[in-house]
Amino acid sequence: MDISIIIPVYNSERFLDRCMQSVLRATRSFAGTAEIIAIDNNSNDRSFEILKDFGKKYPKIVRPMQCKTPGAAAVRNFGVTQAHGEYIWFIDADDEVVSPSVNKLVTAAKSSAADLTTLGLTKIYPDGHQDYIHAIHADDPDFASKFIRNELGPVQVLIRREWYIEHDFKFLEGGIHEDMEMMPALILYTDKYASVDEPLYLYYQNAGSVLHPTKWSQRCMDIFPALRGLYRRFEKADAVSRYHDELEWFFIWNLLMDSAEYFRKFPEGRKGLAKSRAMLRDYFPRWRHNRFLQRVNIRTKFKIYRNFISF
């Protein structure tokens, strides 16, 4: 089996047909062998029924499953144990892939004997606006640095399965931000990578999703154990000194930009801002001198400092 496409599914009936049809188109245009492991995670809508229908219609390629342990992390971890492909690709159930994606990714990975293959994606917003996010080019001398700093999501990387299992990678279960805790650390264990800088993935920015909440959720505090876990991964690989500035910037951006902007919207978020300041002081007390911080524009720098001193 060349590739296993793993799709966690939770209450996704609105998007599931669109997603599955796109993945099926991509596998049909692929000369190799593929399987689609679509895993329902305690949905209370028709998601699992839809998956079973796809399984009946395409029994040679679609494998509908269930995982009772809640959370995308648990579903992805379970999916890896069920996969047979040389490569694995994690897909979100509310997104799409473009038809040439599987063929181009597997071809690039095989030709380079790559453990990791990055791809480009298009962010699509509710108002129709689109942004293209480039892949990190394999020939970029700063590939490893950018891989850590750019916070790639699971959908942006094709992974060689045996290498992934050999290094015992697993997503942190029990919360959100599970990809933040693991993805940057992948690069610490390989220098074999490839890239396809084309818009192979359509990433829909759906309001109200886990990563785009419209009301306060205590789950957003999961960023703190996620970052602690990521730091421990760098310690285990003896890579904190080697990638100090990259890891420091990762903390700065996630604590004082992404999460802070959310914390500021709600009264309950004040404790999140306080914890962000404390974590940054504990892990990176000289963060203001970070070389990547010095490169950002004045508007971004102002937001970062504002969020650090906010009460």
- Tell me the H-state helices in the chain: 13-28, 47-57, 72-82, 101-112, 143-149, 161-166, 178-182, 223-236, 244-253, 259-263, 270-283, 298-309
151: pLDDT strictly greater than 70: yes
Quick check: 39 and 68 in contact, CB under 8 A? no
Q: Which two tokens stand for residue 119?
A: 């791809």
Quick check: 82 and 5 in contact, CB under 8 A? no
Q: Is the dihedral of CA 115, 119, 125, 126 positive or negative?
A: negative
For 74-94, what is each residue's pLDDT tens digit? 999 999 999 999 999 999 999
pLDDT attached to residue 270: 81
pLDDT attached to residue 210: 52
211: pLDDT strictly greater than 60: no
Question: How much is the mean pLDDT over the chain?
Answer: 94
What confidence category does residue 54 fall into, taking pLDDT thresholds of 50, 70 and 90?
very high
Which has the minimum average pLDDT: 23-37, 82-96, 204-218? Answer: 204-218
311: pLDDT strictly greater than 60: no
272: pLDDT strictly greater than 60: yes
For 116-137, what is each residue's pLDDT tens digit? 999 999 999 999 999 999 999 9
Q: Domains, the chain, ranges and CATH?
A: 3-204 (3.90.550.10), 218-309 (no CATH)
Q: Is the pTM of this model over 0.85?
A: yes
What confidence category does residue 236 fall into, taking pLDDT thresholds of 50, 70 and 90?
very high
Nearest 5°: the CA angle 204, 210, 187 is: 80
What confidence category does residue 208 fall into, taking pLDDT thresholds of 50, 70 and 90?
low
Establish how many alpha carbons lie within 13 A of residue 276's alpha carbon, considering only the half-sphere containing its beta carbon: 31
The gap from C-alpha 119 to its chain's centroid, in whole angstroms, comes to 12
pLDDT attached to residue 225: 95
Query: % helix / strand / coil in the chain, to the nearest 5?
Result: 50, 15, 35
Nearest 5°: the CA angle 99, 100, 101 is: 95
What confidence category does residue 259 fall into, taking pLDDT thresholds of 50, 70 and 90?
confident
Q: Using CA atoms, how far apart are residues 32 and 38, in angstroms rounded to an integer? A: 19
For 175-201, what is each residue's pLDDT tens digit? 889 999 999 999 999 999 999 999 999
pLDDT, mean of residues 256-275: 84
Instruction: Answer with the residue of higher pLDDT: 306 or 264.
Output: 306
pLDDT attached to residue 216: 77
pLDDT attached to residue 209: 53
pLDDT attached to residue 74: 97
Which has the minimum average pLDDT: 3-17, 67-81, 192-206, 262-276? Answer: 262-276
pLDDT attached to residue 20: 98
Nearest 5°: the CA angle 71, 72, 73 is: 90
